[in-house]
Amino acid sequence: MDDQGQGRYSAQQFRDLVKDIPFAMFTTITTGGGLRSRPMVASENAFDGTLWFFTRTSSAVAQEVAGNTMVNVTYVSAPEDRFVSVSGTASVVRDVERAGGMWSPAYNQWFAGGASDPELSLIRIEVARVEFWDRKAGRMREL
């Protein structure tokens, strides 16, 4: 019971840390073994213990995740000294129901067919580690 309660607390604490940060830098490992980062839209309701992002099925990020599942996601709100780093294992999935639950009209510019657009996939990240900058302590802490 304690573990479940702690898990819920940690999920809420994570949501509190990344709230109001509209973009995250998403880092993958390329086929050549290098690192590649790109901005991704950070949805408000994209974390339920697993972290979710929208992507095109044929995108480079989807191909890189298929080739190497290790990823990192970084959220930054410099004015508030909020820095959050998430490491985990990613997969690309098609889940129209989940996409519909995360959908916002802002996504229409990328996916004209809405949450059921045939090119819409989700990146599902099993979170292994969350670290955040603790301003009071002056160091990174693990969630």
3-state secondary structure of 123: strand
Q: Identify the pLDDT of residue 139.
A: 67
Q: Identify the pLDDT of residue 2.
A: 33
pLDDT by 10s per residue, the chain, length 143 = 233 444 554 788 888 889 889 999 999 999 999 999 999 998 877 888 899 999 999 999 999 999 999 999 999 998 888 899 999 999 999 999 999 999 988 899 999 999 999 999 999 999 999 999 867 667 677 77
- Please tell me the total count of domains within the chain: 1
Domain holding 108, by residue range, is 2-142
State how far the Cα of 16 lies from the Cα of 133, in Å rounded to an integer.
13
Phi-psi region of 54 (alpha: psi -120 to 50; beta: other; left: phi over 0): beta
Q: Identify the pLDDT of residue 3.
A: 38
pTM of the model: 0.86
CATH number, residue 64: 2.30.110.10
